[in-house]
Structure 1
Amino acid sequence: MSELRKSLGLPTLIALGVAGVVGSSWIYTSSVFFDSYGAGGMILGLIGGAVLAACIALAYGRLTATIPRAGGEVVWTYTALGRPFGFATGWLHIGAYIASLAFYVTAFGTVLAKAFPGLQTIPLWTINDEPVHLPVLALGIVLTAVIFGLNWRGVQLGGQVQVVLFAAMLAIGLALAVTGFATGTPDNLFPAWRADQDPLGSTVRMVVPGITYLAGFSLVAIMAEEARVAPRLIGRAVVITVVGAVAFYVVVLAATAWVSPWEQTAAGKLGTITAFTDAGFPALGWAALGIAVLGLLTSFIGLFVASTRIVLALARAELLPPALGRIDARSGVPRNACVFIAVVTVVLGLLGPGAITWFLDAGGVFLGLVWVLVVAAYLILPRRFPNLRRPASALGLLPVVGAIGALAVIGFALWPGTDLSLVWPAEHLTLLGWVVLGAVLFAITRPRRPAEELQRRLLGEHAGTVLGEGRPRDDPSSG
C-alpha cells in the first residue's frame, strides 16, 4: 500500500495550520460584529471561543501524537467507534470543507472587487438574490486551477507557498498592530460596549461564531502523515495552531479598536479597513484588505489539501471508491482525490455565494458533529486498546468541555430564533440532503477487503502499536 511522502517540517506544518485557520471575511465584517456585540464582546468572545476550541485541540493533539495518519479524524473514529462513525466523520468533514472551497471560488473575486468594482459586471445568473458575475467566476476558476496545480506536484511546494503567504500576512498584521497601538488611544476602545449592549450577553453570543473562526485547526492533524517530525511535536502543533490564530485575530482587532473609535468603525462597512482609513492611514487600510486576500488564499490552500487527505482516508477504508486512495509514486500525492475535490469545488462554486451560504451555515453543524465524534474517540480508544492508555492528567477531561461547546454550536444553529439559527427551509434542507446522500452512499458501498485488513490500511505503520502487536519498525524508541 502506498504511503504519503514525509516532506513537511514543523514550521511549514504550523504555517499551514495557522494560515489555514485565519480566513478573510473577519477583516471587513468586524464592523458588523462591533455593532452587534461591541468591540469588547467580539474580542472577548473570540477568546472564549478559542478556549473551547483549544479544549477540542487537546484531544486532537493527543490523538495525532498517537496515530499521525492522513485524515486523522476518520482513522480515529473508525478505529474507536466503528465503520459507520468513521464514514460519518469523513462525510461531514468533506461537506464542511467543500462548502468553504466552493465559496472561495467566487469570494476571491468578490474581495478584490472591494478595490476593483469593475469585476462585478456581466451577471450570469442569480441564486438566492446573489448574482454571479463572469469576471469574478473566471478569477475563482483560475485560482482553483492554480491551487490544484500546486497540489498536483506535491504538498511540499504548496507548503512553501503557504509559508511565504503566511509571512506576508504576519508582516501586515504587525504593521497594523504597531501603528494602531502607537498612534491610537485607549479612549477609542473603552468603554468597549455601547450603553444598550449587555457586556456578558454580547460576549457569550460571540463565543459561538468565535469557535467557527478557529475551525480549521484540524488541518495539522489531517496532514500529520506527511510531517517529518516526531508525532508528539505534531500533536503540540495542533494546539499551537489554535493559540497562534486567536493571537493574530485578537491583536489585529484590538489595534482596529485602538486606532479609531470603535463605534465609528461599527457604523462603517469595511471593519479594519474603515478604522485605519478613518485614522489617517489609508495605505494600511488597504493593507488590511491584503490580509483578507492572503487569508482567503491560505485557507483555500489548506482546505484543499486537507479535503484530499480526508478523501484518501475514506478510500483506504473503502468507504469511498478505492481508486480515490491511489497515491502517485513520483509526487507522493493522491492525485485522483485532488481531481475529485477540484471538480466538486468548481461545480458547486458555479452556484455562487447565494447558494453556497446555505452549505457554509450547514457546515458549522457538520464541524460541530465531527468535534463531538473526535472527543468520543479520544475517550474510547484507550479503553478499547489498553496499550494506548495514557497517564492521568488534569487536562484529560477538558476535551469534554470543548465537546459541550460544539454541541452548543449545533444547538444554536438548529434552534429557531437565535442569532445563528439556520435559515428555514433552505439551510435545513441542505443539511438534511447532505446527511441523506451520505446515508445512501454508505448503504450501497460494500467493502471488498476484510474488516481487519481495512483497519490495517487505515492505521498503516501504526497498526502494530494500536493493535498491541509491538512498535512500528521505524519507531525511534524501538531497539
Structure 2
Amino acid sequence: MSSMKKTLGLPSLIALGVAGVVGSSWIYTSSTFFADVGAGGMILGLLVGAALAACVALAYGELTSVIPRAGGEVVWSTAALGYRAGFATGWFHIGAYIASLSFYVTAFGTLLSKYLPVFESMPLYSVNGEAVTLPVLAVGIALALIVFALNWFGVGLGAQLQVALFVIMLLIGAALAVTAVFAGSPSNLWPAWSSGQAPLASTARMVVPGITYVVGFSLVAVLAEESSLSPRRVGRAVVLTVGIAALFYTTVLLATATVIPWEEVAQMDLGTIDAFTTAGFPLLGFGAFLIAVLGLVTSFIGLFVASSRVVLALARARMLPGSLAEVHAGSGVPRNALLFVLVITIVLGLLGPGAIIWFLDAGGVFLGIVWLLVVVAKYRLPRRFPNAQYTYRARPAFLPAIGAVGAVLVILFSLIPGTGLTLQWPVEHIILAGWALLGALIYTLTDRPQGADRDEALDELLGAEASAALRGQ
C-alpha cells in the first residue's frame, strides 16, 4: 500500500493553506470593491464569508482527524457516500484547482507587466479579446516548470519555500498596518459606506466572494497524509487556517482604507498599491505589489501540490489509471500525478486569460459542490462506520450544516442571473455542463473494481490504519 513521507510540520501546513490561496487580484481590485460595496461592505462581507467557510472547515477538521489521507475530500466522500460521490468530489475539485493553475500561467506575467512594460510586447495570438504575449507565456511556463521541479524531489523543499514567502508577505502586511496606524486615521474609514451604498445589501454582496478568499483550509486536509502532526492537530490546523487568512486579509484592507480616505482609494486603479503610493509611501506601495506577486506564486505552489494529491486519491480508488497512484520511493511524491497536473495546466494555460477566466468562474461552482458533498459526508460517515475514532469534533455539531448553506450560496449566486457573480451565458454554462458530462463519461467508461477488489481499492484509498479503525479491527 503506497504512502507518502511525513515531512510537513505546522508552519508548512499553515503556509500552504493560507498563502496557497491568497492570490493577487484582491490587492489591486480592492479599489473596485470599495467603489462597488464600500470599504465597510468589503471588510464585513469578507468576515461573514470567512465565518461560513470556517463552519465548513470544522467538517474538514473532523474528517481529517479520523482519516488523514492524501486527497481529503475524495477519501471521505467515497467512504461515506460511495464511489459516485467520491468521483464527483474529486472531479469537481480537480476542475477548480486546474482552472486556477491555468489562469496563473498567464496571470503571473500580466501582473509583472504593471511594472515591466516588456511583458506587453510580442503578442502571439488573442483569445476572447485578450492578447497572449511571448514574455507573459514564457514566464508563466517557467513558473510552472520550477514549481514542478521543486515537488519532483519531495514536498519538503517546496514547503520550505512556501513558508519563507509567507513570512515575507506577513512582514509586508504588518508594515502596511503599522504605517496606517501612525500615518493614517480611523476617520478615513468613516463613513464606511458612501451615499447610495446600503450597508446590509452591500455586505451581503461581498459574502460569497469572501467565502472564496479563505478556501485554503482544504489544502491542509488534502496534504494531511504528509503531515508529521497527529491527526488531531492537523484537524485543528484546518480550522486555524481560516482564521489566519481572514486576519491577514482584514489587516491589509483596513490599512488600505485608513492610510488615506477609502473613497479616494475607490477612484484609483490599483487599490492598496496606489493607496500607499499616494499616501507618500511608494516603497510600501511596491510592497503591496510584492504581496500580489508572492501571493500568486504561493497560490501556484499550494494548488499544484494539492491537485496532484486529488489525482492520486482518485487513482488509488481506481477511478483514474492506476499509474497515477504510484508514489516514488525516494522522494515520497506521486510523480506521475505531478506530471499529469503539469501537462493539463500548461495546455489550458496556453489559451490565455481571456479563455481561462471562463474556467475560473466555473471553478467557483465546482468548489461549492465539493464543500456540500464534504459536509454531507461528515454527517453520514458515523452512520456508515460507527467504529470510527474521532480525535477532533466540530462543536456545536450543527455548525458545518450552516457552512453548507454558504456552499449552496456559492452555487446559486453563480447560476441565478443578476447576482454580480453569475456565470456568463452561454460559454461558462457550457463549460460547467461539459466538465460534468466529461466526468460522467469517464466514470462510466472506467473499469471500476467489484467485490473483493472494491474492498481492496477502498483500503488503498483509506490507508491501512484508517481502514482498520473504521471497521473496528
- TM-score (norm: length of structure 1): 0.97
Q: Is 2:472 the counterpart of 1:465?
A: no
Q: Deviations 1:133-172 (Å, cap 9, x if unpaired)? A: 1100000000000000001010001100101101111111
Q: Partner residue of 1:18?
A: 18
Q: Partner residue of 2:261?
A: 261
User: Per-residue deviation at 1:21?
Assistant: 2.5
User: Per-residue deviation at 1:246?
Assistant: 0.5
User: Per-residue deviation at 1:393?
Assistant: 6.7
Distance in 2 of aligned mates of 1:45 and 1:271: 18
Q: Partner residue of 1:346?
A: 346
Q: Deviations 1:292-325 (Å, cap 9, x if unpaired)? A: 0000011000000000000000000010000001
Distance in 2 of aligned mates of 1:331 and 1:354: 37
User: Per-residue deviation at 1:211?
Assistant: 0.5
User: Per-residue deviation at 1:216?
Assistant: 2.4
Partner amino acid, structure 2, of 1:50: A
User: Per-residue deviation at 1:405?
Assistant: 1.1
Q: Deviations 1:310-355 (Å, cap 9, x if unpaired)? A: 0000000010000001011110010000000000000000000011
User: What are the within-5 Å matches in structure 2 for residues 206-217 of structure 1?
Assistant: 206-217=206-217
* SS in structure 2 of the partner of residue 126 of structure 1: strand
User: What are the within-5 Å matches in structure 2 for residues 415-426 of structure 1?
Assistant: 415-426=416-427
Contact 1:21 1:245 in 2 (8 A): no
Distance in 2 of aligned mates of 1:125 and 1:403: 42
Contact 1:383 1:389 in 2 (8 A): no
Q: Deviations 1:425-461 (Å, cap 9, x if unpaired)? A: 0100011110011000000001256211111001112
Q: Is 2:340 the counterpart of 1:325?
A: no
Contact 1:109 1:136 in 2 (8 A): yes
| C-alpha distance 393-297 of structure 1, shift in aligned 2 (>3 A) | closer
Distance in 2 of aligned mates of 1:392 and 1:259: 41
Partner amino acid, structure 2, of 1:452: D
User: What are the within-5 Å matches in structure 2 for residues 272-421 of structure 1?
Assistant: 272-388=272-388, 394-421=395-422
Distance in 1 of aligned mates of 2:111 and 2:141: 15
Contact 1:188 1:262 in 2 (8 A): yes
Contact 2:416 2:422 in 1 (8 A): yes
Q: Partner residue of 2:459?
A: 456
| C-alpha distance 192-352 of structure 1, shift in aligned 2 (>3 A) | same
User: What are the within-5 Å matches in structure 2 for residues 17-416 of structure 1?
Assistant: 17-388=17-388, 394-416=395-417
* SS in structure 1 of the partner of residue 124 of structure 2: strand
Q: Partner residue of 1:436?
A: 437
User: Per-residue deviation at 1:14?
Assistant: 1.2
Distance in 2 of aligned mates of 1:404 and 1:468: 33
User: Per-residue deviation at 1:398?
Assistant: 0.4
* SS in structure 1 of the partner of residue 75 of structure 2: helix
Contact 2:18 2:214 in 1 (8 A): no
Partner amino acid, structure 2, of 1:376: V
Divergent runs of 4+, >4 A: 389-394
Partner amino acid, structure 2, of 1:281: F
Contact 1:37 1:193 in 2 (8 A): yes
| C-alpha distance 73-393 of structure 1, shift in aligned 2 (>3 A) | closer
Q: Deviations 1:49-80 (Å, cap 9, x if unpaired)? A: 00000000000000001110000100000000
> Which range moved further: 10-19 or 146-155?
10-19
Q: Partner residue of 1:2?
A: 2
* SS in structure 1 of the partner of residue 418 of structure 2: coil
CA RMSD of aligned residues (A): 1.1
Q: Deviations 1:205-264 (Å, cap 9, x if unpaired)? A: 100110011122200000000001111000000011100001000000000000011111
Distance in 2 of aligned mates of 1:195 and 1:97: 39
Distance in 1 of aligned mates of 2:396 and 2:300: 33
Partner amino acid, structure 2, of 1:434: W
Distance in 2 of aligned mates of 1:125 and 1:139: 16
Partner amino acid, structure 1, of 2:259: V
Partner amino acid, structure 2, of 1:165: L
Distance in 1 of aligned mates of 2:205 and 2:49: 10
Name the % identity.
63
* SS in structure 2 of the partner of residue 131 of structure 1: strand
Contact 2:186 2:258 in 1 (8 A): yes
Q: Partner residue of 1:427?
A: 428
User: Per-residue deviation at 1:291?
Assistant: 0.1
Contact 2:55 2:400 in 1 (8 A): yes
User: Per-residue deviation at 1:392?
Assistant: 8.6
| C-alpha distance 91-148 of structure 1, shift in aligned 2 (>3 A) | same
* SS in structure 2 of the partner of residue 387 of structure 1: coil
Question: Which runs of no fewer than 5 residues in structure 1 stay unpaired?
Answer: 470-479
Partner amino acid, structure 1, of 2:440: A
Contact 2:358 2:431 in 1 (8 A): yes
Q: Partner residue of 1:473?
A: none
Question: Which runs of no fewer than 5 residues in structure 2 stay unpaired?
Answer: none
Distance in 2 of aligned mates of 1:394 and 1:68: 20
| C-alpha distance 76-392 of structure 1, shift in aligned 2 (>3 A) | closer
* SS in structure 1 of the partner of residue 114 of structure 2: coil
User: Per-residue deviation at 1:388?
Assistant: 2.4
Distance in 1 of aligned mates of 2:309 and 2:125: 33
